[in-house]
């Protein structure tokens, strides 16, 4: 079916259902950042293949909301489709809710597929529309028209994730979660169940992994945890004999993926769910005889605090990743452009992947690599493709944001390097402002109870003084051989009530972006640890600091040394000593020599 035919078919379904407008978000039933193609309904109905967007279809109009990363792509892919592009960053662009309230008459209905909306999102849009006299129908209209060529839900095998990597057994995790949930009941007993739909939470809780979603080693499934039972709802084809033995050993009961709705309908007592993650369809399945309780997932909270084994695994993964990046930058500097060789952003991405595959326990990238040459680096979430990418020459600025999934842990690193030619003075100033903010956050000491938004200004202070800022978050949480982006902790301007705690991992990634010129971002992963005692006080155990996990040199040729303090230079030199010490043993003699040059001490 062509896009116009799909829209016509959907409008027929809308007329039959008595719906004036239908909203198709770029979501899946598990609130995933990356999702299986089976659920790419927004992409299917629109013909737009960007990762982020929401469609609104009315009886006579079709519109697509997306962000600035995809304006060019959307303009090309929506041509001749009759779909109007709504540019979210434009000041005069209404939100989807505002547009619906303005363009759908009171008394008419808007349709939403409840599986594609979290409970909280569904409630929020329903409230606003109902206040305007517009009713909301919970209905899936896509399933009956996307019957031909729809990808199946992935059937890749799930596999056990050893406690040698996870640092804790399934038995221990289940016992702790049950203790937490028992404590939520007023009398400490009674029937309860926790509905879990987030794939990374399921993977963490049951120590299982899979290959169902690109960049994320998760298994498409649901879990219902009860006081005396744990049920995994998953397609049986995904479970081989070894996996079944593992699940049986841990007393995990397997049921069909689709059976979760009937199972929930029969639950009694208190039914806990996380309204930010669980989809509306699951919520609607909860019986009126049960007590539905919205609760931030205790798994989300526990998963974020890495144990000692997980943290040591992260350190191992960082060494493997650092070796791969050293090999890549050596190749980029010494071989990539010799004898007139032509390179593109895409070829650089492929080469970095090749070096990462040499690392022990490497599984896949942790997200799509961003290789932004010159002006493309200023596009924060730039995504080159093989067909649409810039030629890279041995001159100018290159921003490289990448990461790996290793059995030991998940990495995410950004380095900005100068490839040759005369360095503009502004480029050096920008690089140094970013580096100074990066170091300021990495070296922060703070009292327990501090939230990420309270530290955010540390990374921005020097660029603010120069009249510069950036719009993205300074730091996001990171999983352990799971999602590269996780919560609840972060470092950003938005008020997040979650305090930073020992074991949390966050990124440290300030940046400066000059349209058409360059993007500069410097990113390490850092973890929260107890602060080292520096003076005798009775409150010393109440202070925290960061340990830098990432191991890769910085491009010191871009530093404007006159802006650097003695303490910053000392930190940089000490970091480079550590990088060389930990990475050199993984390299051959020539690679180690290259690394030694890049880690050479800066004289004050």
pLDDT band at 603 (very low <50, low <70, confident <90, very high): confident
Q: What element of type H or E holds 439?
A: helix 425-442
> Among 159-168, 350-359, 403-412, 540-549, where is mean pLDDT lowest?
540-549
Least confident of 35-49, 203-217, 521-535: 521-535
Residues contacting 53, CB < 8 A, separation 6+: 26, 42, 43, 46, 64, 65, 66, 70, 74
Residue 258: pLDDT band with limits 50, 70, 90:
very high
Q: How many Cβ atoms from other residues are within 10 Å of residue 535's Cβ?
A: 5
Q: How confident is the model at residue 189 (pLDDT cuts 50, 70, 90)?
A: low
Cα 26 off chain centre by: 15
Q: For the segment 436-484, what is each residue's pLDDT rounded down to a tens digit?
A: 999 999 999 999 999 999 999 999 999 999 999 998 999 999 999 999 9
- Residue 187 is predicted with a pLDDT of 63
Q: Domains (ranges, CATH) in the chain?
A: 3-138 (3.40.350.10), 159-302 (3.40.350.10), 308-567 (3.90.230.10)
pLDDT confidence tier of residue 70, bands split at 50, 70 and 90: confident
User: Residue 188 has what pLDDT?
Assistant: 58
Helix, strand or coil, per DSSP, at residue 26: coil
> What is the pLDDT at residue 149?
93
**3-state class of 445 per DSSP?**
strand
Contacts of 181 (CB under 8 A, 6+ apart): 192, 194, 225, 227, 272, 298
Q: Is residue 24 within 8 Å of residue 45, measured between CB atoms? A: yes
Q: How far apart are CA 104 and CA 19, in angstroms?
A: 10
Residue 594: what pLDDT? Answer: 98
How many angstroms separate the CA atoms of 157 and 34, rounded?
A: 19
- Burial grade of 425 (CB within 10 A; 0-12, 13-18, 19 or more): exposed
Which tens digits make up the pLDDT trace of 329-369?
999 999 999 999 999 999 999 999 999 999 999 999 999 99
Strand partners, 364: 405
Query: Could you tell me where the DSSP H helices lie in 53-209?
Result: 71-77, 96-103, 119-131, 163-166, 170-184, 199-206
E strand or H helix at 112, and its extent?
strand 109-112
Model confidence at 539, in pLDDT bands (50, 70, 90)? low
Query: What SS3 class is residue 201?
Result: helix
Contact 380, 471 (CB under 8 A): yes
**Residue 48, pLDDT score:** 93
- What pLDDT, on the 0 to 100 scale, is given for residue 538? 54
pLDDT at residue number 471: 86
Residue 537, pLDDT > 60, answer no
**Contact present, 562 and 589 (Cβ < 8 Å):** no
Taking phi first (over 0 means left), then psi (-120 to 50 degrees means alpha), and beta for anything else, what does residue 421 get? left
Give the pLDDT of residue 534: 65
184: closest CA among 295, 300, 305? Answer: 295
Token duo for residue 42: 């927004």
For the cut 90, the answer to whether the pLDDT of residue 166 exceeds it is: yes
**Closest by CA position to 37, among listed 194, 175, 214:** 214
Q: Which residue has the higher pLDDT, 67 or 44?
A: 44
Place 508 in a pLDDT band, splitting at 50, 70 and 90. very high
């Amino acid at each position: 079916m062509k896009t116009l035919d799909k829209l016509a078919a959907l409008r027929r379904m809308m007329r039959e259902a008595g719906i004036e407008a239908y909203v198709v978000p770029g979501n899946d039933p598990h609130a995933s950042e990356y999702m299986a193609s089976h659920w790419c309904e927004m992409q299917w109905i629109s013909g737009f293949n960007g990762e982020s967007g929401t469609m609104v279809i009315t009886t006579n109009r079709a519109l697509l909301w997306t962000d600035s990363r995809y304006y060019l792509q959307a303009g090309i892919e929506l041509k001749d489709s009759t779909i109007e592009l709504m540019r979210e960053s434009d000041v005069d662009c209404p939100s989807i809710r505002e547009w619906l309230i303005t363009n759908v008459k009171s008394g008419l209905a808007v349709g939403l597929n409840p599986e594609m909306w979290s409970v909280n999102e569904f409630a929020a849009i329903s409230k606003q529309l109902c206040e305007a006299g517009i009713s909301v129908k919970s209905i899936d209209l896509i399933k009956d028209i996307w019957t031909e060529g729809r990808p199946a839900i992935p059937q890749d095998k799930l596999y056990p994730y050893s406690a040698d990597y996870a640092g804790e057994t399934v038995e221990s995790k289940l016992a702790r979660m049950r203790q937490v949930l028992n404590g939520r009941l007023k009398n400490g007993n009674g029937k309860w169940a926790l509905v879990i739909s987030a794939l990374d939470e399921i993977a963490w809780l049951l120590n299982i992994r899979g290959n169902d979603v690109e960049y994320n080693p998760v298994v498409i499934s649901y879990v219902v945890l009860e006081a005396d039972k744990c049920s995994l709802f998953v397609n049986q084809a995904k479970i081989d004999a070894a996996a079944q033995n593992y699940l049986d050993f841990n007393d995990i009961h397997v049921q069909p993926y689709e059976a979760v709705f009937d199972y929930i309908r029969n639950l009694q007592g208190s039914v806990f769910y996380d309204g930010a993650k669980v989809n509306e369809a699951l919520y609607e399945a909860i019986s009126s005889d049960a007590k539905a309780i919205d609760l931030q997932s205790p798994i989300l909270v526990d998963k974020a605090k890495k144990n000692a084994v997980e943290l040591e695994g992260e350190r191992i993964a960082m060494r493997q990743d650092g070796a791969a990046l050293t090999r890549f930058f050596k190749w980029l500097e010494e071989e990539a452009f010799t004898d007139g060789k032509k390179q593109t952003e895409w070829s650089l991405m492929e080469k970095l992947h090749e070096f990462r595959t040499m690392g022990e326990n490497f599984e896949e990238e942790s997200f799509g690599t961003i290789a932004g040459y010159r002006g493309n680096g200023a596009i924060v979430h730039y995504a080159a493709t093989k067909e649409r990418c810039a030629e890279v020459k041995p001159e100018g600025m290159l921003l490289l944001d990448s990461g790996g999934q290793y059995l030991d842990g998940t990495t995410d690193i950004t380095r900005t390097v100068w490839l040759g030619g005369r360095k503009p003075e502004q480029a050096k100033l920008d690089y140094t402002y970013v580096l100074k903010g990066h170091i300021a956050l990495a070296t922060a000491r703070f009292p327990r109870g501090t939230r990420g938004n309270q530290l955010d200004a540390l990374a921005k202070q020097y660029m603010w003084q120069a009249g510069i800022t950036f719009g993205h978050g300074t730091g996001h949480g990171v999983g352990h051989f799971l999602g590269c982006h996780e919560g609840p902790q972060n470092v950003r301007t938005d008020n997040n009530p979650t305090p930073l705690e020992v074991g949390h991992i966050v990124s440290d990634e300030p940046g400066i972006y000059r349209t058409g010129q360059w993007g500069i971002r410097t990113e390490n992963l850092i973890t929260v640890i107890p602060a080292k005692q520096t003076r005798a006080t009775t409150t010393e155990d109440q202070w925290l600091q960061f340990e830098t996990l990432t191991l890769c040199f910085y491009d010191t040729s871009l530093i404007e040394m006159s802006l650097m303090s003695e303490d910053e230079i000392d930190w940089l030199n000490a970091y480079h000593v550590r990088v060389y010490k930990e990475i050199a043993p993984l390299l051959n003699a020539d690679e180690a020599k290259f690394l030694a040059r890049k880690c050479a001490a800066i004289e004050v």
